[in-house]
Amino acid sequence: MSEEKDVKGQEQKSGRILTNYFIVVILLSFIVAGIVFCAFNTAFIEKEKWIKVAASQQRPNRKILPGRGNIYSVDGKLMATSVPRYYTYIDFKAEGLAIDSFLKSKTNGVDSLSIYLSRKLKNRTPAGYKAHLLKGLKSKNRQYPVYEGKISYSDLKEIKKYPFLRLNRYKSGFYTKEMVQRQKPFGTLASRTIGDIYGEIEESGVTKGKNGLELQYDSLLRGEAGLSSVRRLGGAWTNVVEIEPVDGMDIRTTIDIGIQDIAEKSLVDMLKNIDAESGTAVIMEVETGEIKAITNMGRVHEGIYAETKNHAVADEIEPGSTFKVASIMVALEDGLCNPYDSVDTGNGIYIYKGARMTDHNMNHGGYGKISVEQSIWFSSNIGVAKTILKGYEKNPAKFVEGLYRLGLTIPLKLEIPGSGKAKIRMPKDTTLYWSKTTLPWMSFGYETQIPPIYTLTFFNAIANNGKMVRPMFTKEILYNGKVQKNFSTEVLKSSICSDKTLEIIQKMLLGVVEKGTGKVVHSDIIRIAGKTGTAQIASGGSYRTSGHQVSFCGYFPADKPKYSCIVVIRRPRIGYASGGGMSGVVVKNIAEKIYANYMAFDIKSIERDSLAVLTPVPKTGDKKELKQVMNALDIEINDDKTETNWLLADRTESGSEILLKDLPLIEGLVPRVTGMGAKDAVFLMESVGLRVNLQGSGRVITQSISPGQRISKGQTVLLTLK
């Protein structure tokens, strides 16, 4: 009986378990069905409702503007950088616009706002601002400017706190439009070559280059915009960066700020003296082709000059008498003349095929019989033309082929968008008219178009022992201070002519300055060689009333050329138009100033003064290491008054002892590292949060961020060592 009870009890227990299990399954089924129903209801029936709810929890995505890359000079000085600027507006049709407050409030009304705006912006009186704002209210304009100009971010932060504008966006209707302004710390220096950008931010969230290097390297400078969204998380709005912006790369140019400043000042001084329309000056390093300075100044108001069109690379102009050098070089190469051949220039007037050709001294009886060499010295149109006619009158194509052979028309592929090309016509070219007088007039620089930088490239090849190199404006492309790409010298033509011809031409160019039309260019400080040029400017098919263009192209020092230079001046209104007396004088001033500031002397060639025995000065740096070096060299040091671990080393007046001074380090400010070696300088800069880019070797001579400036973490500083 007990066994039967046990079996029966187990059956009852099992039955209860099954019942409970069934009940649980039924309940879970209802729950699952409910979940499925709710999911279906949410996904399909109430879809639109929940999409609206989701949208209310997330604000529209915003582009994060990347930092446009900076443009630097060759020595690391900042030439172009971006800063944000803002236009300010009021939407006078905003739904929540607090009109009563605007008109009547003493603390947040138009009267108070007008006073604040007048004090800050100073372009209207308080009454003027009140009238301006009331006009906007009356017009119901949705984009009514508070201030017509652009303001900085710091000014914007202040203005947002002004009466009425400090109300929220919906009550005040106040909003802004962000722009990017490219600032050039050195003003007009090389401004047209550096270029400009469009101020508007594109839909892609980046800025766009407009001209110059800004346009050429726009894809590298502009960077890539990021993306952020504002979402409601945990009851609060949170900014979420979806895609990080990528800042643009930096460009280090070949421009030397010091030489650029010399070139611009020398040119502008002359332009003002002769009241010229415009002028161009370009300085190239002979061996490398690096453009060290390029300036294009035009008259914007009477007596006021500024960077205008980039004439140096864009103008396809008749070069004038500087072209005579190429003409005689072709004749010498073809063996059709030698420098001492005689040519009769007569009384300075020569009629050829019914056309009148003159020399600049025709009013003084002309040059008579002179040599080919003197034709270059004295810039005789007749002398050069007769020399070329003698050799090529029956075969002008041979002359033009010789010009092409010199490399005058080789495309330079400059880094400046919109640059021109050299155009030298051929006798059988149907696109350019060849007349019976084209050959002689071409020989002295007419009826052909050559941008100034092409002429400079040709003269630079003469200075460079015949090797023609491409002018270059960019030295490096950098990202976060690290070099991504280096640009090196590109040889366009290994030799433009034979060594014999080159030597003759070099002597001729020296003779121009020492014996000919360029005598005024002669300097007692530095020897200059080059060629003057004066040409009438054609306008409407006539040369009679269009004014003159004067030029000088050459190089210095003549014995061992370091720099080549061209200066072109257009339409002077004061004085006799002269390539030597105007453009040549500018070249002379540039050469002398560069010589005084930049030309290095070989110390070994200087006679030693046996009485001057000076103690060598160690590099500035760590105190312990300095003392260790001085002790090892048995040099007396004076550090009694030093207290810091970083010392500045200097020589005492007697020169027999080294004086060590404290090098103060102030927290938050850029330290001074000039005089240090690379190791100490890098350590000190990186220890305060700066990135370092080194150039050269030896001890630090310049740092791109001046000592004492406020530190921006992660900023790159260029240290130049020598």
Q: Looking at the domain assignment, is residue 4 inside a domain?
A: no
In angstroms, the Cα distances linking 576 to 280, 571, 572 are 19, 11, 8
pLDDT at position 94: 87
Whether 467 and 338 share a structural domain: yes
Separation between Cα atoms, residue 521 and residue 532, nearest integer Å: 10
pLDDT at position 660: 72
Burial of 30 (0-12, 13-18, 19+ CB in 10 A): exposed
pLDDT at position 566: 97
332: left (phi over 0), alpha (psi -120 to 50) or beta: alpha
Whether 655 and 710 share a structural domain: yes
Displacement of CA 605 from its chain's centroid (Å): 38
Whether 591 and 668 share a structural domain: no
pLDDT at position 200: 74
Whether 629 and 548 share a structural domain: no
pLDDT at position 3: 58
Q: Looking at the domain assignment, is residue 236 inside a domain?
A: yes
DSSP readout, 595-617?
Answer: HHHT----GGGSPP-TT---PPP
602-649 pLDDT, tens per residue?
555 555 555 555 566 677 777 677 777 777 777 666 665 666 677 666
Q: Looking at the domain assignment, is residue 606 inside a domain?
A: no
CATH number, domain of 565, equals 3.40.710.10
3-class SS of residue 210: coil
Separation between Cα atoms, residue 333 and residue 318, nearest integer Å: 24
Read off the tokens for 32. 């699952």
Instruction: Tell me, yes or no, if the pTM score tops 0.85.
Output: no
Read off the tokens for 226. 């990021």
Query: How many other CB atoms are there within 10 angstroms of residue 517's CB atom?
Result: 26
Phi and psi angles of residue 195, each rounded to the nearest 5 degrees, phi first: 95, -175
Read off the tokens for 158. 């202040």
Boundary of a domain, candidates 226, 253, 280: 253
3-class SS of residue 148: strand
Whether 272 and 148 share a structural domain: no
Burial of 141 (0-12, 13-18, 19+ CB in 10 A): middle
Whether 483 and 402 share a structural domain: yes
Closest CA to 294 of 321, 254, 323, 322: 254
Q: Looking at the domain assignment, is residue 634 inside a domain?
A: yes
469-513 pLDDT, tens per residue?
999 999 999 998 899 999 999 999 999 999 999 999 999 999 999
Q: Looking at the domain assignment, is residue 141 inside a domain?
A: yes
Q: Which residues of the chain have pLDDT under 50?
A: none
Separation between Cα atoms, residue 137 and residue 93, nearest integer Å: 8
Kindly give the pairing relationship between strand 548-556 and strand 529-536.
antiparallel
Kindly give the pairing relationship between strand 691-696 and strand 716-721.
parallel
Q: Looking at the domain assignment, is residue 272 inside a domain?
A: yes
Whether 152 and 292 share a structural domain: no
pLDDT at position 517: 95
Q: Looking at the domain assignment, is residue 613 inside a domain?
A: no
Whether 460 and 498 share a structural domain: yes
CATH number, domain of 656, equals 3.30.10.20
Query: Hey, what's the torsion of the CAs at 598, 601, 603, 606, to 10 degrees?
Result: -130
Phi and psi angles of residue 40, each rounded to the nearest 5 degrees, phi first: -65, -45
Where in the sequence is the domain holding 44, given as residue range(s)?
13-56
Closest CA to 710 of 667, 664, 681: 667
Q: Looking at the domain assignment, is residue 21 inside a domain?
A: yes
Boundary of a domain, candidates 215, 236, 253: 253
Tell me how many domains the chain contains. Answer: 4
Whether 395 and 276 share a structural domain: yes
Whether 183 and 317 share a structural domain: no
Enumerate residues 6+ apart whose C-beta is below 8 A from 570: 276, 277, 278, 279, 311, 537, 547, 548, 549
Whether 87 and 36 share a structural domain: no
Whether 240 and 347 share a structural domain: no
CATH number, domain of 138, equals 3.90.1310.10
pLDDT at position 206: 79
